[in-house]
Structure 1
Amino acid sequence: MDLLRVLLVLAGMDAAAGLALLPYVPRLAPDAMPGKVTATTFVLERPRCIFDPLANASDAVWLAVAFADAYTAFKNPTSRAEVPPYKGLPTARAYMTLEMAAAAYGCSAPGAAVLRVGGDTECCGRAPCNGPLPSPGPYRVKFLLMGCSGPKAETKWSDPILLRRGTGGNRAAISLPPPQNQRGKDTAVIIAAILASLGAALAMAMLGAVGYEWGTGILRLFFS
Structure 2
Amino acid sequence: MRLGVGGQSSLLMALLLLLTCLHLGMSLERISYAPQLSSATLAGRLTQSTFTLERPRGQFSHLNIADFDAIWLVLAHSNATQSFTAPQRVEDTPVPANLPQRGYYITLRANRALYPGGQPGNELRVLRVANNTRCSLITRGCHHPLPGPGPYRVKFLVVRDRGPMAETDWSSETCLQQAKALQAAPGPQSAGTMVIVAILSVLLAVVLTTLLTLLIYTWYDTCGSTSISGPGELACMKRYNTHHMFSPSAEVGS
AA aligned opposite 1:41: T
SS at match of 1:192: helix
Q: CA deviation at 1:188?
A: 1.9
Distance 2:216 2:45 in 1: 69
1:118 aligns with 2:133: no
Quick check: 2:153–2:173 contact (8 Å CA) kept in 1?
yes
Q: Deviations over 1:107-166 (max 9, x none)?
A: 37x996321111222112743102222222221100011112221111111111122335
Matched with 1:211 is none
Q: Percent identity?
A: 33
**C-alpha displacement at 1:22, in angstroms?**
1.9
Structure with the bigger RCO (C-alpha within 8 Å, sep 6+) is 1
Q: Distance in 1 between matches of 2:217 and 2:134?
A: 70
Work out which of the two has the higher radius of gyration on C-alpha atoms and give 1 or 2. 2
Corresponding position of 2:146: 133
Residue 152 (structure 1) aligned with residue 169 (structure 2): no
User: 1:202 Cα shift?
Assistant: 9.6
In structure 1, distance between residues paired with 2:177 and 2:201: 40
1:15 deviates by 6.5
Structure-1 residue corresponding to 2:42:
33
The answer on whether the counterparts of 2:67 and 2:112 sit within 8 Å (CA) in structure 1 is: yes
Counterpart of 1:83 in structure 2 is 93
Decide which of 22, 25, 29 is 2:31's aligned counterpart: 22
- The 1:193–1:156 alpha-carbon spacing in structure 2 relative to 1, beyond 3 Å, is same
Structure 2 length normalisation: TM-score? 0.60
Matches within 5 A, 1:43-62: 43-51=52-60, 52-62=62-72
Please give the per-residue CA displacement for 1:34-84, whole angstroms capped at 9, x wherever unaligned. Answer: 332233222211113333232124321100111223323222222221111
Equivalences for 1:4-23 in 2 at 5 Å? 17-23=26-32
CA 1:182–1:88: 2 relative to 1, 3 Å = farther
Q: Runs of 5+ in structure 2 lacking a partner?
A: 1-22, 182-192, 222-245, 247-254
CA RMSD of aligned residues (A): 3.9
Structure 1 residues 153 and 181: alpha-carbon distance in aligned structure 2, compared to 1, 3 A threshold = farther
Distance 1:98 1:203, change over 3 A: closer
